Amino acid sequence: MSSTLVELEHISKSYGSKLIIDDLSLTIHENEFVTLLGPSGCGKTTTLRIIGGFEMPDSGRVLFEGRDITNTPPNHRNLNTVFQKYALFPNMTIAENIAFGLRISKKSKQYIDDKIKYALKLVNMEDFADRSVDSISGGQQQRVAIARAIVNEPKLLLLDEPLGALDLKLRQEMQYELIRLKNELGITFIYVTHDQEEALTMSDTVVVMNQGYIQQMGTPESIYNEPENAFVAAFIGDSNIIPGFMVQDKLVDILGVRFDCVDSGFGTNTPVDVVIRPEDVILGKPGEGRMDGRVTHIIFKGVHYEMEVMAGGFEWLVQSTVGHPVGEEVSISVDPFNIQIMNKPASEDEEAIKLDE
């Protein structure tokens, strides 16, 4: 991967007695799309605000291109922010909003005019230069906020839940738009959201946070397919989290039934948590699978049916394009590579995280 742009070193921050971020370290590379994902209050926005310079960490350092910027005010940082509620200046036109940063840095009129045109074109808002802020829709304000940030040619763009206020259709459109912008501009994005789908769709790297800790960091695929703990598994998508134990390498006991799996290195007869995604549970005729059960609920979700199946004393969440009526006897089986084994929480911190979720 390319060179390091931002490093957070052992950042801690609390408000009063409430610890928001606890000894957080994170490295972000140039041209990376990093998403901080987590429930509200997990410290993701505070982390972003510390990078932006709006909050001071209680301890730890922020490095930007290797330089310590912990005490640098926001107006001297080479980055820009797209705020949650856009924060466009209502007393200025769209063009004046976009020109704000350029006028502050005393660029020539010609340069500013060119930049406004370029930025408006980039966000498909060419005809809106002289409109007032309150005459355009939320989605359009969103685009202007992005344009206003990127004309300053920052190395880093911080986005604080920028799509949160938009409706679903527009949100999906803007997701593609943001990916396109990031690729065209070649700048680094740090994106904060609580929407796991948004995070998986857009990011190169997803950082899952909870209770001020980084729970897991990795590509969207690895976060989804190989969650490291129960919090990540539960937060990203739906999942069945079942207590079990490793009999030996590549063999796990779930609810008294042995399943082949692909994980090893957990020792023998070790208690573990097993994660199985609902779309990976295969339903068949009774006796054909690993264990038998009975369908207790079914809902039609559009793309698939979502069912609950009582088997082995556990209520399995199952998604399938084939529906089975309530009361039908079925069998359950799972392909070995779809069984994800996680360590049981070891430390008290991890335990607390699990209890609090």
Partner 1 sequence: MNKRSFTAPYIIWIIGGTLIPLAMMFYYGLTDESGTWTLQNILAIFEPGNLRALWKSLLYSAACTVVCLLLSYPIALILRNVKRAKGVIVFIFLLPMWVNFLLRTMAWQVLLEKGGVINGILSWIGLPKARLINTPGAIIMGMVYDFLPFMLLPINNVLSKVPNSLTEAAYDLGASKAQVITKVLLPLSVPGIVSGITMVFVPALTTFVISNMLGGGKILLIGNIIEQEFTVGDNWNLGAGLSIVMMIFILVSMAFIAKFDKKGEGLA
Q: What is the contact surface with partner 1 in residues (CB under 8 A)?
A: 52-54, 73-75, 80-81, 83-85, 87-91, 100-101, 104-105, 148-149, 152
**Least distance in angstroms from the C-beta of 107 to partner 1:** 11
Q: Which of 107, 128, 108 is nearest to 117 (CA)?
A: 128
**Least distance in angstroms from the C-beta of 152 to partner 1:** 7
Q: Which of 29, 12, 18 is nearest to 186 (CA)?
A: 29
Is the dihedral angle over the CA atoms 263, 267, 268, 270 positive or is it negative? negative
Cβ nearer to partner 1, comparing 84 with 296: 84
Question: Does residue 261 contact residue 251 with C-beta atoms inside 8 Å?
Answer: yes
Cβ nearer to partner 1, comparing 105 with 321: 105
Assign 3-class secondary structure to 281-311: EEEECCCCCCEEEEEEEEEECCCCEEEEEEE
**Least distance in angstroms from the C-beta of 87 to partner 1:** 4
Cβ nearer to partner 1, comparing 40 with 91: 91
Beta bridge partners of 317: 308
Cβ nearer to partner 1, comparing 156 with 200: 156
- The span from the CA of 272 to the CA of 343, in Å, is 5
Question: Does residue 60 contact residue 12 with C-beta atoms inside 8 Å?
Answer: yes
**Least distance in angstroms from the C-beta of 285 to partner 1:** 59
How many other CB atoms are there within 10 angstroms of residue 153's CB atom?
Answer: 12
**Least distance in angstroms from the C-beta of 73 to partner 1:** 7
Beta bridge partners of 281: 334
**Least distance in angstroms from the C-beta of 300 to partner 1:** 42
Cβ nearer to partner 1, comparing 6 with 88: 88
Cβ nearer to partner 1, comparing 143 with 277: 143
Cβ nearer to partner 1, comparing 89 with 337: 89
**Least distance in angstroms from the C-beta of 113 to partner 1:** 18
Q: Which of 82, 277, 271, 296 is nearest to 192 (CA)?
A: 82
CA distance to 85, 94, 201, 322, 323, per residue, from 143 (Å): 12, 10, 19, 41, 42
Question: Does residue 225 contact residue 263 with C-beta atoms inside 8 Å?
Answer: no
Tally the residues of the chain.
357
Cβ nearer to partner 1, comparing 5 with 206: 5
Rg (CA), the chain: 24
Question: Does residue 63 contact residue 71 with C-beta atoms inside 8 Å?
Answer: no
Question: Does residue 62 contact residue 29 with C-beta atoms inside 8 Å?
Answer: no
**Least distance in angstroms from the C-beta of 89 to partner 1:** 6
**Least distance in angstroms from the C-beta of 153 to partner 1:** 12
Cβ nearer to partner 1, comparing 160 with 198: 160
